[in-house]
Structure 1
Amino acid sequence: MVMGEPSREEYKIQSFDAETQQLLKTALKDPGAVDLEKVANVIVDQSLQDCVFSKEAGRICYAIIQAESTQAGQSVFRRGLLNRLQQEYQTREQLRARSLQGWVRYVTIICNIFDYLRVNNMPMMALVNPVYDCLFRLAQPDSLSKEEEVDCLVLQLHRVGEQLEKMNGQRMDELFVLIRDGFLLPTGLSSLAQLLLLEIIEFRAAGWKTTPAAQNYYYSEVSD
């Protein structure tokens, strides 16, 4: 980090107006003192507008849930967060039609939250199928023709693919049939999209790990 730059934690709070900053800071320190459903809505709203925040929201949600559980074992925030994610999930096609960037940010936040949130040290079952459904949508031919969506698909599979496969291996097999089909029938696929899809196919085949040879090949190709 460059000297004088805010940390990631500070950035997440500083990207809000003063009143909302105060709301979030209080939620992190004394969750019982604020409207936690409002906090959940604020976090999702900001994630849909801000691509950097959408990648970091899971950390802040996890911190609030931890703080709330130490107070009275409550889960008001988690319930509010899941309800809001469900509302956006139900209108995801409209969101995609209205704003491709908003749709990509929604997929980013739901995967980010799935990655961070745990119940009894296990990923949240309630999010498994919605996350899969979003990734399946990104693997449709019309999405694979858009680099933003391919990039999102591959990034999220790097993040949560291994966890998702443990929760439902059959759906992961089905998702990779779509990805392979998309790669083998490259109508409208850019060379970068083809490269990203090939990389994620090999990444999963190697047990969700990047081999040194693959690292050298893909990252030299991307940087050229």
Structure 2
Amino acid sequence: MGEPSKEEYKIQCFDAETQQLLKTALKDPGAVDLEKVANVIVDHSLQDSVFSKEAGRMCYAIIQVNNMPMMALVNPVYDCLFRLAQPDSLSKEEEVDCLVLQLHRVGEQLEKMNGQRMDELFVLIRDGFLLPAGLSSLAQLLLLEIIEFRAAGWKTTPAAHKYYYSEVSD
């Protein structure tokens, strides 16, 4: 079946009215109450960690409309990221991967919108990295990589790219 196309999202788990709301938000965010959309996405993500990856894709798509971040989504996206940065989530590689992937996608934009919350989030990430009780080696590596990514101005330096990705391409 492969990766869903840009317009296809896994929203079948919602009732028909909510599916329509999400579809409209993805096509024309200005036509819906984005706070309501964000709350639906966040609530479902917190109940179903598997859906959180899909939620991140959807929020990213909505934020990218007109290349303008949507203020209504900033705090709900932060809320999801904070949830993924809690110790119980950091002990699961899939959730660490989701956290890091979303920060790669929208971290810089989120920081511009609310730098204080990003600082708070990275305190959790740093603490999670430094207190690795139950963290796998891959989770530690992903957390270290995102810490360095932010420290480098949301860019991957050539040295960091070589360190983190050389084994992948070999």
Q: TM-score range by the shorter chain?
A: 0.5 to 0.7
Structure with greater contact order relative to length (CA < 8 Å, sep ≥ 6): 2
Q: Aligned ranges for residues 36-75 of structure 1 at < 5 Å?
A: none
TM-score with structure 1 length normalisation? 0.51
Following TM superposition, the consecutive aligned residue runs of length 4 or more in structure 1 with deviations greater than 6 angstroms are 3-7, 10-65
Contact 1:147/1:190 (<8 A) preserved: yes
Q: Matched residues in 1 for 2:97 and 2:2: separation?
A: 31
- Return the alpha-carbon distance in structure 2 between the equivalents of residues 175 and 64 of structure 1: 22
Match of 2:69 in 1: 123
Unpaired stretches in structure 1, ≥5 consecutive residues? 66-117
Please say if residues 139 and 179 of structure 1, whose CA atoms lie closer than 8 Å, have aligned partners that are also in contact. Answer: yes
Please, which moves more after superposition, 22-31 or 178-187?
22-31
Gap change, CA 1:37 and 1:7, over 3 Å in 2: same
Equivalent-residue separation in structure 1 for 2:73 and 2:30 (angstroms): 25
**Normalising by the residue count of structure 2, what TM-score does the alignment of the two structures yield?**
0.66
CA distance in 1, matches of 2:132, 2:28: 52
Deviation per residue, 1:174-220 (Å, 9 max, x gap): 11011011101110000000000000000000000011111111113
Q: Is the 8 A contact 2:90 2:139 kept in 1?
A: yes
* Structure-2 change in CA distance of 1:221 and 1:198 (3 Å): farther
- Structure 1 215/49 Cα, relative in aligned 2: closer, same or farther at 3 Å? same
**Within 1, Cα distance between the matches of 2:2 and 2:65?**
37
Distance 2:33 2:75 in 1: 28
CA distance in 2, matches of 1:136, 1:218: 24
Residues in 2 aligned to 1:5 and 1:138: alpha-carbon distance in whole angstroms = 23
Alignment match, 1:7? 5
SS at match of 2:164: helix
Q: In 1, are the aligned partners of 2:60 and 2:106 still within 8 Å (CA)? A: no
Once residues 19 and 44 of structure 1 are traced to their aligned partners in structure 2, the CA distance between those partners, rounded to angstroms, is: 17
Bigger proportion of residues as helix: 1
**Any conservation in 1 of the 2:25–2:31 contact (CA below 8 Å)?**
yes
Aligned partner of 1:87 in structure 2 is: none
Between Structure 1 and Structure 2, whose CA radius of gyration is higher?
Answer: 1
In structure 2, the CA distance between the partners of 1:15 and 1:198, relative to structure 1 (3 Å rule), is same
